[in-house]
Structure 1
Amino acid sequence: MSNHIFFWIAYTLYFFLSGFITTPEKFTQIHHIFQNVIISVLEIIACFYLLLYRIFPETLPTKKYQLLFFSLITLAVICSVGNAFVIYFYRAIIHEKFNFYRSCTVGLNNLYLSIHFALAYWFATNFIQNVREQSKAELQKNMLEKSILEAELSSLKNQINPHFLYNSLNFLYAQALPMSKKLSDSVMLLAEMMRYTVKENNNEGKVSLIKEIQYIKNYVAIQQIQFDGKLNVELEIIGNIHYRRIHPLTISPLIENTFKNGVLNDIQCPVSIWIETQANNLFLTITYKRKIGISEKYIFDDLMDVRRRLYIGYFNNHFIKFEHTDCNQKIFLKLSL
């Protein structure tokens, strides 16, 4: 509202000077100035803000034209009768004649000017806002298209023939099975993880949430095999994970980041991975102890690609939060599936 102060000051001066130039004899007395300028300007300002912030926002966007018409008629009656009462009491004080018809006409004229000002301001501000929103949407669209092209280019650069990969892993599994169960199990887990990353998706680019969680379980299992089961990692799944779909590798990079930057064998501070589904929402909470020398900024920057992927895949349908203490790290993620 402070942005309008200069406008109303200029308008009042204009109103005053125009009245003074056209009918200077009316401005020889202070009470005429009050009557012809102050009262009208105050009435116009009141109607302007009432129209701009109450009537127009509740009627024009929703096309409630009947309510708009009724509101304008009601406001016209209030302005005409209200102006007449004010002038009547004012004229009674200074002992001058009172013209009811003229006072009502002045009130309607003030409302007429208010409607013009409010409509002009309303459409101008909405036009500017629409232009800004279109520019913002176009910018976001260009960024999204650029990100998709970069992802496609990266996918082409890193593309591996799936059949060659699966056949090689099956061969390694068969060779390792007689020699080491640990090695053969690792190869099998790796084969399942690779199959998920290069094959499993649907036309929307989504996969079953069960398969994303199974990928996480396989990742944790491989890590446990690598460190002889000495890792202190707690993985808990709560809620119904069936019949829900998710963009592949959405939450698993957060787990990988945890294993990269966290202390995994601390009995006093285990790595806690908690996944819960409620209605169409997925909640992921990861708590772990950071390695010595790993800063909060490093973790935040290290997850730049993850946060970018979340923005592209879920836009406003996700929320991610990082909490830091002296040596502990907590990551919270909420997704609307």
Structure 2
Amino acid sequence: MLESVKKEWKKLLIILAVYSVWWIAVLFSLISLQGIDATIKQFGSVLHLYSEVIHSIVKGTLVYYILIFKLAIPLIRTGKRKKILMQYLLLILFITFYEYIWDFKTGDPSSAAKANISLGAFFVYALGLDLIMAVISIFIATWIESNDALKREEELEKQKLNAELSAIKYQINPHFLFNSLSFIYTKTVRTNPEAAHAVHLLSEIMSYALEEWEDLGRVPLPLEISHMKKVIEMNQIRFNNKLNIDYKENIEQGGILVLNNTYVPTLVFITLVENAFKHGDLNDEKNKVTVKLQVAGDNIRFSVSNKKKKSPKEPSNGIGLTNVQKRLQLMYGSKHSFIIQEDQDHYLTEININLNKL
């Protein structure tokens, strides 16, 4: 949340800096063309000159921020033209009427707008300038979004290359591995069905993890959920079904269609579950490891909560959760949130995906 606020403030400050430089350049141009006395006289007084410049800078900064980041970029990303264009129109009308009140109702008798411009001419002039601002904001937003999209694709490509390098670095020949698991399964299926089933699960989980998925590691959500359940089952078998794990799945009407049409980066759900297995207390019946999947409308929520182990923590560098956060950001941007909450005894990770969010 704090990081998101910092990003928004950074955008606002960049616009403020650029717009301030532009207005200072305009002011110096006026002074150089007609002299400082004429410029002051045009605005009525030095105080009115300063107040007009500061007001214009603050107003322009806020307007361009809204036009670019709250309207133009969502328009480009979502294509919801009617809704956003209506918001554009309402904002432009609001700005025009605000400028009318500022120029005609502020009580400044030396206002150039009052002295030299009729009311009708003012509205045409102001509305025209506001429309130009809207067009400029769309061009800027298109440039920003093109650069961001290029950076996201480059980052995804880098992550894919890093994943491929890690697979090469850490895996034994996968054919040898899967052939060995198949041999063990065949030898144990009659004498020890549970062990054979565990080997089969392990083989499927590892095959999923090592698969070279197309589209930069994106997989259908049902596939990720299916293998996440296999990870839970595999761990239960390891510990003779004594682990206190509660898996809850709530998919509302129409949710199946949403699930089947949603993609996620591979292993993101599995990473959260494995994190709970690694650091959670799996023996407390009153504080079970709770895994929840909820699908309502266009909203997908996946959370894992656990009580922390009292024994010494296993070594961890936090790369897994950081990787999840980065990959979700690259894929979903503002349409998702990744939450980590913890206190002295409990730990929660939660992924929220809002497919309909601007």
What band does the TM-score fall into relative to the shorter chain? 0.5 to 0.7
Task: Give the Cα separation in 2 of the matches to 1:226 and 1:208.
Answer: 28
Task: Determine the structure 2 residue equivalent to 1:170.
Answer: 182
What displacement does 1:151 show? 2.4
Task: Give the Cα separation in 2 of the matches to 1:197 and 1:144.
Answer: 17
| Residue 231 (structure 1) aligned with residue 247 (structure 2) | no
| Residue 271 (structure 1) aligned with residue 278 (structure 2) | no
| Aligned equivalent of 1:312, options 323, 330, 339 | 330
Task: Give the Cα separation in 2 of the matches to 1:106 and 1:19.
Answer: 23
Note the 1:251-262 alignment, pairs <5 A. Answer: 251-262=269-280
| Aligned equivalent of 1:45, options 13, 32, 52 | 52
Task: Give the Cα separation in 1 of the matches to 2:28 and 2:197.
Answer: 83
Task: Determine the structure 1 residue equivalent to 2:155.
Answer: 143
TM-score by length of 2: 0.59
SS state of the match for residue 190, structure 2? Answer: coil
What displacement does 1:218 show? 1.6
Greater relative CO (CA pairs within 8 A, separation 6+): 2
What displacement does 1:138 show? 5.5
> Kindly tell me: are residues 169 and 148 of structure 1, through their superposed partners in 2, closer, same or farther at Cα, counting changes over 3 Å?
closer
Deviation digits for residues 135-155 of structure 1, max 9, x if unmatched? 666655543433232223334
Deviation digits for residues 257-288 of structure 1, max 9, x if unmatched? 11001110111211111111122332112111
Task: Determine the structure 2 residue equivalent to 1:210.
Answer: 222
Letter in 2 for 1:256: E
Task: Give the Cα separation in 1 of the matches to 2:163 and 2:274.
Answer: 20
> Kindly tell me: are residues 286 and 193 of structure 1, through their superposed partners in 2, closer, same or farther at Cα, counting changes over 3 Å?
same
Task: Give the Cα separation in 2 of the matches to 1:203 and 1:41.
Answer: 59
SS state of the match for residue 287, structure 2? Answer: coil
| Aligned equivalent of 1:290, options 308, 311, 322 | 308
Contact 1:275 1:283 in 2 (8 A): yes
> Kindly tell me: are residues 309 and 263 of structure 1, through their superposed partners in 2, closer, same or farther at Cα, counting changes over 3 Å?
same
Task: Give the Cα separation in 2 of the matches to 1:129 and 1:208.
Answer: 31
Q: How many residues align?
A: 297
> Kindly tell me: are residues 261 and 168 of structure 1, through their superposed partners in 2, closer, same or farther at Cα, counting changes over 3 Å?
same
> Kindly tell me: are residues 187 and 146 of structure 1, through their superposed partners in 2, closer, same or farther at Cα, counting changes over 3 Å?
closer
- Provide structure 1 residue ranges, at least 5 long, that are not aligned to the other structure: 21-32, 88-102
Contact 1:144 1:312 in 2 (8 A): yes
Contact 1:209 1:242 in 2 (8 A): no
Moved more, 247-256 or 166-175: 166-175
> Kindly tell me: are residues 42 and 145 of structure 1, through their superposed partners in 2, closer, same or farther at Cα, counting changes over 3 Å?
same
Contact 2:248 2:293 in 1 (8 A): yes
Deviation digits for residues 137-183 of structure 1, max 9, x if unmatched? 66555434332322233344447445x54443232112112332321
| Aligned equivalent of 1:280, options 285, 298, 321 | 298
> Kindly tell me: are residues 16 and 206 of structure 1, through their superposed partners in 2, closer, same or farther at Cα, counting changes over 3 Å?
closer
Contact 2:290 2:306 in 1 (8 A): yes
Task: Determine the structure 1 residue equivalent to 2:208.
Answer: 196
Contact 1:197 1:249 in 2 (8 A): yes
> Kindly tell me: are residues 13 and 151 of structure 1, through their superposed partners in 2, closer, same or farther at Cα, counting changes over 3 Å?
same
TM-score by length of 1: 0.62
Moved more, 210-219 or 266-275: 210-219
Contact 2:160 2:216 in 1 (8 A): no
Letter in 2 for 1:191: S
Task: Determine the structure 2 residue equivalent to 1:153.
Answer: 165
What displacement does 1:336 show? 4.5
Task: Determine the structure 1 residue equivalent to 2:347.
Answer: 329
Task: Determine the structure 1 residue equivalent to 2:8.
Answer: none
> If you compute each CA radius of gyration, which structure gives the higher value, 1 or 2?
1
Letter in 1 for 2:301: F
Task: Determine the structure 1 residue equivalent to 2:80.
Answer: none
Letter in 2 for 1:150: N
Letter in 2 for 1:272: T
What displacement does 1:289 show? 0.8
Task: Determine the structure 2 residue equivalent to 1:96.
Answer: none
Letter in 2 for 1:181: P
Task: Give the Cα separation in 2 of the matches to 1:178 and 1:261.
Answer: 35
Contact 1:16 1:37 in 2 (8 A): no
**Structure 1 vs Structure 2: percent identity of aligned residues?**
21
> Kindly tell me: are residues 332 and 17 of structure 1, through their superposed partners in 2, closer, same or farther at Cα, counting changes over 3 Å?
closer
Letter in 2 for 1:168: S
